[in-house]
Amino acid sequence: MKITKKIKTAGLFTIVLVFSLFIISCRSNSKKVGEKIMEKAIENATGQDAKVDLEKGGAVIETGAGSIKVDGNAKIWPIEIPGDIPEFKFGKVEAVTTSNLDNTKSWTIAFKEVQNGFLDKYDAQLKEKGFESVLMKMGDSGGSIQAENSKYNVFLMGGEGNLSLAVSIKKQE
């Protein structure tokens, strides 16, 4: 039962991200039509009612599992991210997605103009904050970090000047 719920949540998150990118890139005059199409797609994929509100540069999606907000105009690190997570300061924030699904809060931040050497620098900051991490380098300027501690998961992947960083609060059972 738990696995099915996780699969549905992961599916919903994937659908939302794809549609969010579509929304941000295609600013349509028929906003209400776009909202209804997205609502139906999410409802068909998850079996839950959905409400979609397209905003300039983003979207807010609400379902029975929770909500997701995409802000394509964000330019700063989300202040809601707990201070235990080191702020990524090696690039410029381009967009932020904030989700609260199944009572799990998470953020995904897209960066541009990422500096060389970001992997080693951010990995060191995570370790200073008590995270255990796995660093994988790909080529000269890309790779990923998967880090966790008792409260949080952090995952980032990037290269060639772009990066995506995800932070989630672990469910306390």
79 and 105 fall within a common domain: yes
Is 82 within the bounds of a domain? yes
CB-based contact 16:68 (threshold 8 Å): yes
Number of domains in the chain: 2
Is 69 within the bounds of a domain? no
Tell me the pLDDT tens digit for each residue of 23-74. Answer: 555 554 455 666 676 666 666 666 777 777 777 677 787 887 888 888 888 9
What is the model's pLDDT at position 122?
97
Side chain identity, residue 1: M
- Count of Cβ atoms closer than 10 Å to residue 59 Cβ: 23
Is 53 within the bounds of a domain? yes
Which token pair is 46?
């998850």
**CA 24 to mean position of chain CA atoms:** 15
Tell me the pLDDT tens digit for each residue of 114-145. Answer: 998 999 999 999 999 999 999 999 987 899 99
Q: Which residues pair with 54 in a beta bridge?
A: 59
- Count of Cβ atoms closer than 10 Å to residue 29 Cβ: 6
What is the model's pLDDT at position 53?
73
Is 12 within the bounds of a domain? yes
Q: Is 135 helix (H, G, I), strand (E, B) or coil?
A: strand
DSSP letter (8 states) at residue 82: -
Which token pair is 45?
């994929």
Whether residue 1 is predicted with pLDDT greater than 50 in this model: the reply is no
**Last residue of a domain, which of 64, 94, 115?**
64
Is 161 within the bounds of a domain? yes
Whether residue 156 is predicted with pLDDT greater than 90 in this model: the reply is yes
